[in-house]
Amino acid sequence: VGRDEAYVSVDPATREPPRVEARGDPEAHRLVERLMVAANEAVAAWLVARGLPGVFRVHEPPTPERVELLARFAHNFGIEAGFGPSLSPRGLAAFEAQVRNSVVAPAIRTVLGKILGPARYTVHPGPHFGLAAPLYLHFTSPIRRYADLLVHRILKRFLSGDRGLIAGDATLEALAQEINAAAYRATKAENERHRMIVARWLSGHIGERAQGNVVGVKPFGLIVQLQGTGVTGTVAMEALPEGPYKVDEANFAVASRARRFSVGDPLEVVISGTNEELGRVELTLAAEKNPSEPLMPGQ
């Protein structure tokens, strides 16, 4: 699922982030990724055809309940998903193309990512829904992923004449589960560090205005993604005017007697504070065209 992410540039002299900007994948990157995916699919099919073990990458399709949630969420913004009670990879691609240039695309992609869920490693071959692949594994990056290295070792043993390899090996499955846990920890640590760097950068923009869109609602407030940077921050529930507010989970909104804020709503906010240690960005709603609040660069 395509999405713009907050890309951090670091000054090599000061080791400080001079800017953060939203970036999608360049066409050259997408081409390389397509070739890598093709290689990974080919190796997975080769192993299965010979009854060999492997550490496969499996991604289950979303449940009907999650598909219904996505369709209802899109309907709130006037977008008819059109894929019925079940979602196919082709339907997913068509839906993503439909929302790609929509103003609510960041919010929809945030929800879509949660609905699809993560892929996992296992010795049991299966389809990868997100890539529309009947079989898939990781083969192309053995210098940075242990799952790829295990696949290389299996291939090397077989090509060297070892015929004692058994598909579905329990020891290999235990390793796959360890890799799943380690990958989760690594991703969590990477995301936390990224948020810290972003908070440090925004500490130099306190008091500036920014345009954003609501991409999530939580009991503690609104999650807002800033346009042009991909950065997200929080408008605390108690900072919203005309409260108190309650979360309306069915409609992805928070509402009081007087006002309502929904996922996808455009907002003008002010960078009101940061906490680098916790990687937090605090926002408040901007006053109506307050000239004392400068606009963030790039907006």
Residues 6+ apart with CB under 8 A from 220: 234, 236, 237
How many CB atoms sit inside 10 A of residue 127's CB?
Answer: 17
pLDDT at 59: 97
Q: What is the CATH number of domain 207-285?
A: 2.40.50.140
Half-sphere exposure of 206 (CA within 13 A, CB side): 11
Residues 79-93: tens digit of each pLDDT: 888 877 788 988 988
Provide the sign of the torsion angle of the four alpha carbons 109, 114, 116, 118, taken in this order: positive
Indicate if the pLDDT at residue 293 is higher than 70. Answer: no
Residue closest to 73 by CA, chosen among 119, 43, 104, 118: 104
Containing H/E element for 30?
Answer: helix 27-49
pLDDT at 227: 87
The answer to whether the beta carbons of residues 253 and 217 sit under 8 Å apart is yes
Peptide bond before residue 26 is cis, with ω within 30 degrees of 0: no
Q: Residue 207: left if φ>0, alpha if ψ -120 to 50, beta else—which one? A: left
Q: Residues of the chain with pLDDT > 70: what percent?
A: 92
Q: Which residue has the higher pLDDT, 6 or 29?
A: 29
274 vs 77: CA distance, rounded Å: 31
Compute CA 147 distance to the chain's CA centroid, rounded to the nearest angstrom.
21
The answer to whether the beta carbons of residues 130 and 119 sit under 8 Å apart is yes
Indicate if the pLDDT at residue 76 is higher than 60. Answer: yes
DSSP summary character for residue 269? E
159 vs 220: CA distance, rounded Å: 57
In the chain, domain spans: 1-58+118-205, 60-115, 207-285
Q: Which residue has the higher pLDDT, 71 or 135?
A: 135
Do the bridges between strand 232-236 and strand 280-285 make them parallel or antiparallel, or are there none, so unpaired? parallel
Both tokens of 29, joined, read: 């990157």
Exposed / middle / buried, residue 190 (Cβ in 10 Å: 0-12, 13-18, 19+): exposed
Residues 16-35: tens digit of each pLDDT: 766 777 766 678 988 999 99
The arithmetic mean of pLDDT across residues 213-236, rounded, is 92
Indicate if the pLDDT at residue 141 is higher than 90. Answer: yes
- Mean per-residue pLDDT of the chain: 88
